[in-house]
Structure formats: C-alpha cells, structure tokens
Homo-oligomer: A and B are copies of this chain.
C-alpha cells in the first residue's frame, strides 16, 4: 500500500455555486479519505471577495461552520501575487477552486498554473476573453502544452452537463466536428419555451421576461441575459475547443434582444417597465415562425468548417429536439463525421448551483487522479 496522499485546496467564492461546492467538498473529502488509496483533501484557504480564512501553517481549516467563521474574519483577501506565493510555497500539490466570476483572478491563471497550482473553475472569464489569455493558460497547463498545474472548466458551458469533456473526446480521438448548435442559456431556454411553446400559447415577450425575473431565472438586470453575451462567451469556449481561433465573444454576430432605445435606460426596473412598448417586434418574429409551422428559440451555433460562429434567434420545426426543450434545460447538438446525420445530443439543466458545483467537483476528481 502506498502512503496516503495529501492535496491542498483553496476555495475562492462563496455565492450560490461556492456554497453548494463546499457542501459537496465536505462529502467528497470524507469519501476520499476512506477509499482504499486514501487522499486527504486539506482546505488551506477559503475566501470571498473582501476577506478570507487562511491557514498559514497549511493545517486544515475546518469547514463545518465556514459561513460564520468567514463572516467573523477580519483578514482581507491576499493580493493575487501574495496568493500565488502562499499557494506555491505549500508542501503539497495545490488546487485552486475559483467559484467567482472575477476577471481579475481569471487573468492571473497563467501565473498560478506556471507555479504548478492546478485550477478548477466555473468562471467563464479566462476562457472567453482574449485569445492571448487562452493561449497563455494552455501553454502553462500540463493538460495543454506546458508543465505546470492542470486546468479544468467543465462548468463554464452547460454547468454540470458533460459538454466540454465530450467535445474534447471527439476532437482528441480524431472525429471531425462539423457543427455545434444548441440552447446554452437556462434563462433564454425558459423564456422562449414560455413565450412560444410548441402547440401555441405564451404571453407577450415583456410579460414573459417579467415572469422569468420573478421566478429568479434572470440576472438582477435582465439585460445581462438579453444582450446574448453569456451565450457568446460559451460559444467562444466551444469554438476554441473545436479548433477555431476565435478572438472573443464580440468577434462574431451576437443578436441582442434589448431594443436599442432601452440599452441605456438607467435601471433594470425601468427597462422592464418599458419593455412592453417593443412587444410588436417580438410578436412579428413569433408570427413569422408560426406561419411556417415553426417556433423561435435563442440559439448559438458554430459551423466549424466555415469558421462561422453566431448567436441569436432562429426558427425550428416543432419536431426538432431544440423546439421540444422543457423548462430551463440546455441542449447541445454535436454534428460530426462519425455521428453522421443525427447529432450526439447532451440535454438537461444547464444552470443552478448544485449542478454547476457538480461540474466543479467532478473536475476536481479529475485533477486528483492526474496528481497522483
């Protein structure tokens, strides 16, 4: 029997996903410590944006009452450079779990990786911003072309759904991915499944946006969903993994559903109050699709051969799997040479704290296997 292994974990971000992840981490730690080849996961840092709990001696922090302990902490979060220095001085391998949506932290991933620190994150920023950041990350990472830490980010697209792992498998085993198409936003899925359900019905667009907001399906300002940027970031990640050199989420056509006149009104509430003035535009789109026996959905698509990426409204036959989507589910269709006419489809909840945290936990397990 080999000696038990210890791996250090630093967790930043304790919002919905972060909180869910911490629950999963506690049960994972317990299972791993009791497995035939035990691994001891030792949390040495836990932080929110403003403050942190830190174990300077690299002894385990207790997670049993992390929320009160973190609230009571008066220690400000280390600067990024001090954080890198603290983690890279640890006597065992370290995995940084970034459960924030911070661009700042994301822009430093290459430095973390170069120091041998592995990264697991649902944060889209690092992978959907400049192509140079992407290249720096994968030049440093051991699962890129570097010799540093490992980096996994399954939850950046489709939350816990096995989207990125499937795409990587297709590419690495030599299949030719020709097209990727799907509904990549739980908010947009819910909105259009309600606005134009198969079989007719649905309220006005403004009413459905209000309903989605009330049910907690949108960002506090729904324009942050309706501008299409979240979907554009996901498409950027997928396109890059499929081999396209996409500059960033604003380098291809993205249809915003925010009427021009409302782009700069002050608050989300004011936006919502006035959105109804523009219902005619969306009713026209709906009627046009209905006239062809189709329904409208907000989709992203990548034509890998042509190098075209786009995000926006499209119409689908009511028998199409994209039309038949339910609730706030995501659907991702991979068209490939091997799979032929019918795509490989992954479908299910693509948002939510528990399933997003599950993608993070599952990536953490992958890193632990590789760090042996």
Contact = CB atoms under 8 A, between A and B. Distances in A.
> Copy number of this protein in the oligomer?
2
B342 A28 contact: no
Contacts of A272: none
Nearest to A32: B172
Contacts of A173: 24, 28, 358, 361-362, 365
A339 interface: yes
A175 interface: yes
A77 interface: no
A82 interface: no
A354 B327 contact: no
Nearest to A356: B338
A120 interface: no
A345 interface: yes
A326 B348 contact: no
A324 B327 contact: no
Interface stretch (A8-16, A157-165, A214-222, A298-306): A157-165
A198 to B, nearest CB: 8
16 contacts: A24-B174, A37-B142, A169-B362, A173-B358, A321-B321, A324-B324, A327-B341, A334-B348, A338-B349, A338-B355, A338-B358, A339-B355, A344-B348, A345-B348, A370-B370, A370-B372
Given A321-B347, A370-B370, 18 more contacts: A24-B173, A36-B146, A161-B344, A162-B169, A169-B358, A170-B358, A172-B362, A173-B361, A326-B342, A327-B342, A329-B342, A338-B349, A338-B352, A342-B348, A342-B349, A344-B347, A344-B349, A345-B348
